[in-house]
Structure 1
């Protein structure tokens, strides 16, 4: 099969912003974080979680978590890939054991949905297919490589393997992928410290003669071991990146950009997709390489924790009759709630998600040209509010707000409306020029809009009206005195 491109969908919209569903204020302890349901693992990387889970299980596992067939070579896997349909989709039927809790079933399903968004692979609940994945609460975390025919187990032990990225790791094996550090060309990118690896574990680092699809080595792959996986000497490492030993390897989050690219290459998915993984990043229309004119380009932003703060630097039309827009979805698929629709040439709001995942869909006409760029970072608290008659509250309200907290809240009214803020409670540590804890309010949709005021202390009469349809509240606290915080009721009023 020949390499395919990832497809990126970002849609642009009109100044109405197309905001249909409001985001709520999200507290630290109730975010819909992709890894929220992960049990405590002591901060282990995915590969180290797997090694820990698989210690002592009664199976011989190649490379730590690959179950072998006696009839298949572990080094070269021919005919492992799943079949591609005439519609260009790779259908992988699966069943999830009934013993999983509802929460864990949802986590597994969520991890599978990302493959559907970013590739042409479709995990589908089995009907009567003879070849399928049996996701089982077995011993440890492991999978076979590729399709083996019949019912094939993917073991995801509930007490050890319930991590979004770990689930995707095992599903990558089921789709035919080995570990990244076992690539045939890995010695050009990492050094294996054989002296710090026990003899019985050295097989885990043997190279495979697989197809790299001319895709760069990926230190950030969900399939890469961490620097200490299988190390037998305290204070030492088993893998060192070269030439820069300070490059981070191993992760806890999920598919990387090149993981997505490899899947699309193996299965010849004719798509335009970009995955951004990390606490911050940049995106632009120049990332898009649309090869399938019937499909929009998509960007998936995936932060390891907290909420995503999205900021557009520009979105302009480069030709007449341009109707480009970007749909911003509050989750991993286009079925997630629509956070906003941003339109070329219109004001660009800052947006705050309610989870660690945001999907951008770029909708444009091939006969017209547009250009956009933006960035994302993370914030502990916040939300995007678009429904008339709600309220914004400080973190932990009505209890004292936490130390060193940062929250960003944007309220967006329809065009020709203003935002009226009425504070029913306001108790923020008082200081000269509000230099400690404060609430900063700007008159517009971005962080650098004209300032309406910076507030702290105790207030009982605070009422603020924006001059246009958007207002941003930025809350911050230091590590000293904490107050009860604030509650602001908002409504949309007609422009005077």
Structure 2
């Protein structure tokens, strides 16, 4: 089987225009940067900085490599920020007081963009061992991945305080390279050699990466899910050699698959954000094998009982079945404003929630629209993890007992698609 999971640095940046600040001492212009000129601005800001210092060297234009490290990649993944038990990656940071309040706001605003589309959460430093120290040093640069201890990241007040530049450097901190330096770049982009200017800061070297297409841990999740079929059926997923019909596992938008065999190269998508869970992979592979959702079958009444009383016409209610589906009001259309809903699940054993889709208006700390999951029957019960908003799908949540409460709130403006939750 072919597997293909791409890493996109510039693609993420292209979603967000680089917003400058207005403090005249910062050197920022009064016009926005277009996303495709972010790297040009970084090169300009770094044109006169020292490329080799006592502690680090600047490689590939803006990546700091400790002089004690001989390579940029992490063969054992030990220089990546760890995922916490609740499924999020928390990165502590402190911002130098040399920045003005408006400059600090630009930095934190750029950091907040990650929470809208991923499990990354930049949080204020308290007393953590490893953390980012945002400083106005020379130029715009960052270390690759987690270097350990106090980790500097530089945004000079002259030329670097743009939203797109900050997001770009934070991507390196998370362990992402430039696309044009990837060892497998020819699989995705065409290098127009005649257009490369012979300047000392133009670095087109390739970074030798292990498993550049897909991280070993991600590949293991996919193949492990596939192996489950061999335990209970005659299905065997085997590596692609030269077959005419085959699955191409890719990180496209969302989690989806074709129904049955479509012929030739057949894509099946597991987005790197929100889809790489064993249950989701098994679910999508079932569609590839020709299975529908049970509740959509024309003969469903021959096999399952539809608990009509548990289907909510609006929102909220008591759910006493052992499994079911929960949808936001009017899903998949936009949910209404000023809505407060509570679903109480009272089962015979522990309850597992699986978020099939999530699109709730994002705000820092989820203060506007949000979902709360309480480990118990009431609003006073312990909240399981942080409030949920945005589009990042968390890992499944399991209650400690037989009761669980889901709370949904929407404020007076801005609506989104909402959510679809399965429970069992």
TM-score with structure 2 setting the length: 0.47
More helix by share: 2
TM-score with structure 1 setting the length: 0.41
